[in-house]
Amino acid sequence: MMSKKERLVAAIENGTVIDHIPAEKTYAVATLLGLQKLQTPVTIGYNYPSKKLGKKGIIKIEDKFFTDEEISRLSVVAPNVVLNVIRDYEVVEKKKVVTPDTLKGIVRCNNPKCITNNEPMNTIFHVIDKNSGIIKCHYCDKEQVISEVKLV
């Protein structure tokens, strides 16, 4: 048995640690944050046991701090994750995901007859109800639930 105090992944000096990611969303979070394009070290932990979630993911990104706009993209797949901002091995800030008023180029419209599924163009959604996750396509006006849309 692993001790609770034992770290699952090595600590980082400066950067961002994202914890409590629902395990199956781990790679979606990595994709949404564009981690594959980074040059700094990234550790992706997957299927770690978690009391709250059963299984969880952890991502540690060295020397990278995300803007609020970048973080807001996570509202689609993992609205409850917390981003720990690390400086000199200490957590100096905990950032929560805030659902933005509009989602640009993040998710696909569920309506096959929508122009966004028939032209090479960006999607735009207006967030109608942040609590119940209802979003509305800017083009075809179809309302849909955020948990039922696919990422672009």
Partner 1 sequence: MEKHDFVTIADLSKEKIMYLMNMAQAFEMHPNREILKGKVVATLFFEPSTRTRLSFETAANRLGARVIGFSDAKVTSATKGETLKDTILMVSNYADVIVMRHHIEGAAQYASEIAPVPIVNAGDGAHQHPSQCLLDLYSIYKTQGTLENLNIYLVGDLKYGRTVHSLIMAMRHFNPTFHFIAPEELAMPEEYKLYCKQHGIKYIEHTDFNEDVIAGADIIYMTRVQKERFSDLMEYERVKDVYILKNDMLGKAKENMKILHPLPRVNEIAYDVDENPHAYYIQQAQNGLYAREAILCDVLGISLEEVEADTTIIK
- Residue ranges binding partner 1 (CB under 8 A): 111, 113-116, 118-121, 137-143
Secondary structure (DSSP) of 56-67: EEEEEEET----
CA dist list (Å): 78 to 20, 87, 121, 142: 9, 24, 25, 23
User: 24 by DSSP, 3-state: which?
Assistant: helix
Amino acid (one-letter) located at 78: A
- Please give the structure tokens belonging to residue 24: 């199956």
DSSP secondary structure letter of residue 101: S
Closest approach, Cβ 124 to partner 1, in A, equals 10
Closest approach, Cβ 122 to partner 1, in A, equals 10
The CA distance from 96 to 83, in Å, is 6
Closest approach, Cβ 76 to partner 1, in A, equals 20
Nearer to partner 1, 86 or 135 (CB): 135
Closest approach, Cβ 133 to partner 1, in A, equals 16
Nearer to partner 1, 101 or 143 (CB): 143
Nearer to partner 1, 82 or 115 (CB): 115
Nearer to partner 1, 18 or 103 (CB): 103
Q: Distance between the two ends of the chain, CA-based, in angstroms?
A: 41
Nearer to partner 1, 68 or 143 (CB): 143
Closest approach, Cβ 134 to partner 1, in A, equals 11
Q: Please report where in the chains the tokens 């007859």 appear, as a residue.
A: 113
